[in-house]
Amino acid sequence: MGHRRRTDAPPGFEEFTTARYTALVRLGTLLTGDPHHGEDLTQAALVAVLRAWPRLHPDGDPESYARRVMTRLAGKAGRRRWRGEVPTEPLPDGELLAPQDRVADTVDAQRLLAGLPTPLRQVLVLRFWLDYGEARTAAELGCSIGTVKSRTHRALARLRATVSRPTTGTGGVDRVAGRDEAGRGTGVRPVPPPEDDAPVPGSSGEMSRWIEALP
């Protein structure tokens, strides 16, 4: 839809699609953890935007509408694997990511997010990629602010554990060298070591804010 001209499209829709398609696909990829699913999610959202176009243009916000549709659809797809959450550690107050704890890391944000359960992945994408506040994130996800805090805390804890695990991970795989305990190649892309002030591949400045904060 983002690459073919639609002569029957209402005024403004084709321009919106052309301008925002790539950004929406990237968002979809982060929400789902898979680039192909991300594109499918974008296509579904654009169909919904097209149907709602008369009330979204020119005075509405079609991109926010598309994001909301994508978030809801991604949530439905992952909900069956979610068994609920109960905080097991104290939740942080104030800034989640203290400046003194920030370290740059070249780990691909998309790959890190793909390893999280959908609810945890969604809350990080909304909070740190889209830069939504806790209240807006809660509204988009249809949950309480407390749940947003809980999921954010748990997601960041899991990411910290992932990037700080230097050698053997699940199944005896050396995540740094990409080899198993017997020294055989695994085909798993090695996790690169941290590097000061290195950019985060494939991410926006907002996403790098939490990646860089991982100890």
What CATH number corresponds to the domain at position 126? 1.10.10.10
Residue 32 is which amino acid? T
- Whether 7 is in a domain gets the answer no
Q: Are residues 52 and 137 in the same domain?
A: no
Residue 17 structural domain: 13-78
Query: For position 161, what pLDDT does the model report?
Result: 86
- Whether 174 is in a domain gets the answer no
Q: Are residues 28 and 129 in the same domain?
A: no
- Whether 158 is in a domain gets the answer yes
Q: Give the separation between CA 82 and CA 15, rounded to whole angstroms.
A: 38
What lies within 8 Å, CB to CB, of 134 at 6+ separation is 127, 145, 148, 149
Residue with tokens 């790959």: 111
Query: For position 209, what pLDDT does the model report?
Result: 59
Q: Are residues 116 and 204 in the same domain?
A: yes
Q: Are residues 71 and 110 in the same domain?
A: no
Q: Are residues 106 and 69 in the same domain?
A: no
- Whether 124 is in a domain gets the answer yes
List the beta bridge partners of residue 168.
174
CB atoms within 10 A of CB 199: 12
pTM: predicted TM-score of the whole model, two decimal places: 0.67
Along the 215 residues of the chain, how does pLDDT read in single tens digits? 545 454 588 999 999 999 999 999 999 999 998 899 999 999 999 999 999 999 999 999 999 999 999 999 999 887 644 434 433 333 333 333 333 333 233 346 778 888 999 999 999 999 988 889 999 999 999 999 999 999 999 999 998 888 776 544 444 434 433 444 444 443 434 333 333 333 333 445 556 555 555 65
**End-of-domain residue from the set 48, 78, 108:** 78
**End-of-domain residue from the set 78, 110, 129:** 78
Q: Are residues 163 and 205 in the same domain?
A: yes
Q: Are residues 70 and 137 in the same domain?
A: no
Query: For position 205, what pLDDT does the model report?
Result: 58
- Whether 175 is in a domain gets the answer no
Query: For position 192, what pLDDT does the model report?
Result: 39
Q: Are residues 18 and 107 in the same domain?
A: no
Q: Are residues 68 and 122 in the same domain?
A: no
- Whether 86 is in a domain gets the answer no
Q: Are residues 71 and 26 in the same domain?
A: yes
Query: For position 8, what pLDDT does the model report?
Result: 82
Q: Are residues 157 and 205 in the same domain?
A: yes
How many structural domains comprise the chain?
Answer: 2
Residue with tokens 């296509």: 43
Q: Are residues 70 and 135 in the same domain?
A: no
List the beta bridge partners of residue 185.
179
- Whether 182 is in a domain gets the answer no
- Whether 118 is in a domain gets the answer yes
- Which residue in 2, 145, 140 sits closest to 70, CA to CA? 140
